[in-house]
Amino acid sequence: MTLTIDRLSLHADGVAHGPEGTVHVAMVLPGEEVEGEVEAGRIAAPRILTPSADRVKPPCPHYRACGGCVLQHGSDGFVAGWKASVVLNALAQRGIEATVARVETSPEFSRRRATLAGRRTKKGTLVGFHARASDTLVEVPGCRILRPELLAMVPALQEATALGASRKGEIAFALTLSEAGVEIAAKGGKDMDPALFEALAGLARRHDLARLSWGEETVAARRPAQQVFGRARVTPPPGAFLQATAEGEAALVGFVRQAVGKAARVADLFAGCGTFALPLAETAEVHAVEGEAAMLAALDRGWREAQGLKRVTHEARDLFRRPLLPDEIGRFDAVVIDPPRAGAEAQIGEIAASRLGRLVHVSCNPVTFARDARRLLDAGFSLEELIVVDQFRWSAHVELAARFERR
């Protein structure tokens, strides 16, 4: 079947209209004419008959097999424009017109946080990323998105897989680069016993890990696995959320600080370990609200040990079930909110009902952001500034930050 690609889906598949309905096509660009066998509404291995001017040679030899990247066949300019269009289209679906001020794209070899999978095989072990839409694992030597320090840990992951993976199970290894080196948080392995603990502790020494955890148990904490947030040094819990690249974090923090402006009292909702709260505390008093008490404890320790920061208070609170109410929100000059992919529908409703004048919204899901933005605009806010931050280079993942002002 020969088809012309109309657009890309939210997952970066090509979308075309065939005789029997919509067809999804892998690794193509809008406007391209392609040919291939359609199975279950999809062409998995298309032949490109008429390539787009934006088509480039994928720089990674693993691209066709690995599922970590889906857009290496598009030019940098195309990918940045497409990610901006994803945000603008989501807003347009809610009747919102906006302009993306800029797209901040992290460079190659910049991911300081990633999850690789490990599995035992008849021949030994296999460590890598999952293939596209598959549970097959693909080894990725020379991966072009990971920091070299993370890629250098593959031998350690292979050893840990041999030690702790069941015959049929798979271990998820969350790798994070800290100021003290690499930490590994493993999930899905065998239950801990004394022999496994001793073997893993030896692995941590041999591979010079800053920290190694297995399930809920910390096996080795050889050095504090610290992250720098402004003037503070914070040691998050094992496997805790961290912005994927240092460059992406700097772009988001810079936007948030500028958007908050001279606000004297700021609430940071879904604060995590203090990515925004601690830099903001250089100029404002901050109240950090987060559902995970361990993350707030790390934030608090980092604040107490830092020099020159204003007061930071914190509160462990499930903002989905118990959002801040309008009278609580009214104590602040500005609010920063960075919810998970589901968005913050309940909390946005309370913000809309409050008298808050300035909101800075960071989001990793344009669809739920657009839903929440519609609620804010209907309550009298205006969308004043919007940027796109691409920390997950060559993926379909889109992040953004926006400043809302109440008219």
Domain end among 195, 227, 259: 227
Does 273 share its domain with 219?
no
| Best CA proximity match to 356, nearest among 328, 383, 378, 384 | 328
Q: Are 272 and 290 in contact (CB under 8 A)?
A: yes
**Whole-Å CA distances, 118 to 142, 316, 407:** 17, 34, 53
Place of tokens 């901040």: 104
Are residues 91 and 17 part of one domain?
A: no
CA distance 311 to 298: 16
Using DSSP, state whether 104 is helix, strand or coil: strand
Q: What is the pTM of this model?
A: 0.95
Helix runs in 103-245, H state only: 148-151, 154-164, 194-206
Q: Which pLDDT does position 70 carry in this prediction?
A: 95
Q: Which residues are annotated as a binding site?
A: 243, 270, 290, 338
Residue 230, sorted as left (phi over 0), alpha (psi -120 to 50) or beta, turns out to be: left
Query: In this structure, what token pair is assigned to residue 24?
Result: 């999804």
Residue indicated by tokens 């190659």? 108
Whether residue 76 is contained in a domain is answered as: no
**Is 64 inside any structural domain?**
no
CA-to-CA separations, 121 to 138, 141, 204, in angstroms, rounded:
13, 18, 23
Tell me the pLDDT tens digit for each residue of 167-186.
889 999 999 999 999 999 99
Burial readout 183-212 (b: 16 or more C-beta within 10 A, e: otherwise): bbbbebbeeeeeebeebbeebbeebebbbb
Question: Would you say residue 232 lies in a domain?
Answer: no
pLDDT tens for each residue of 262-299 = 999 999 999 999 999 999 999 999 999 999 999 999 99
Distance CA 392, CA 400 (A): 12
pLDDT under 70: residue ranges of the chain = none
Nearest alpha carbon to residue 117 among 194, 171, 174: 171
Structure tokens at 19: 């005789």
Please check whether residues 201 and 254 belong to one and the same domain. no
The question of whether 69 is a catalytic residue gets the answer: no
Decide which of 227, 252, 284 is a domain's last residue.
227
**Pair (170, 274) in one structural domain:** no
Q: Both 345 and 368 in a single domain?
A: yes
Same domain, 141 and 193: yes
User: 72 lies in a domain?
Assistant: no
Query: Does 23 share its domain with 87?
Result: no
Would you state the pLDDT for residue 324?
A: 98
Binding residues for S-adenosyl-L-methionine: 243, 270, 290, 338
Same domain, 101 and 137: no
Helices marked H in 102-245 — which ranges?
148-151, 154-164, 194-206
Compute and round to an integer the Cα radius of gyration of the chain. Answer: 23
Q: Which domain holds residue 131?
A: 113-227
**Measured between alpha carbons, how far is residue 212 from residues 48, 179, 205, 220, 377 in Å?**
46, 15, 10, 5, 46
**pLDDT score of 73:** 97
> Do 320 and 381 share a domain, yes or no?
yes
Is 44 inside a domain boundary?
yes
150: domain CATH number is 2.40.50.1070
241, 229 Cβ separation under 8 angstroms: no
Q: Is 100 helix (H, G, I), strand (E, B) or coil?
A: coil
Instruction: Say which CATH number the domain at 357 has.
Output: 3.40.50.150
What pLDDT does residue 271 have? 98
One domain, residues 382 and 306: yes
For residue 356, being part of any structural domain is answered with yes
User: Number of structural domains, the chain?
Assistant: 3
Domain end position, chosen among 227, 255, 278: 227
The pLDDT of residue 67 is 86
**Residue at 68 is within a domain:** no
The CA–CA distances, whole Å, from 345 to 319, 341, 392, 397 equal: 10, 11, 25, 21
Q: What are 10's two structure tokens? A: 């939210």
Q: Which residues 6+ apart lie within 8 Å of 168 measured at CB? A: none
Indicate the residue type of 90. A
Contact 101, 386 (CB under 8 A): yes
For residue 292, tell me if it sits in a domain.
yes
Task: State the number of CA atoms in the 13 A half-sphere of 118 facing the CB.
Answer: 28
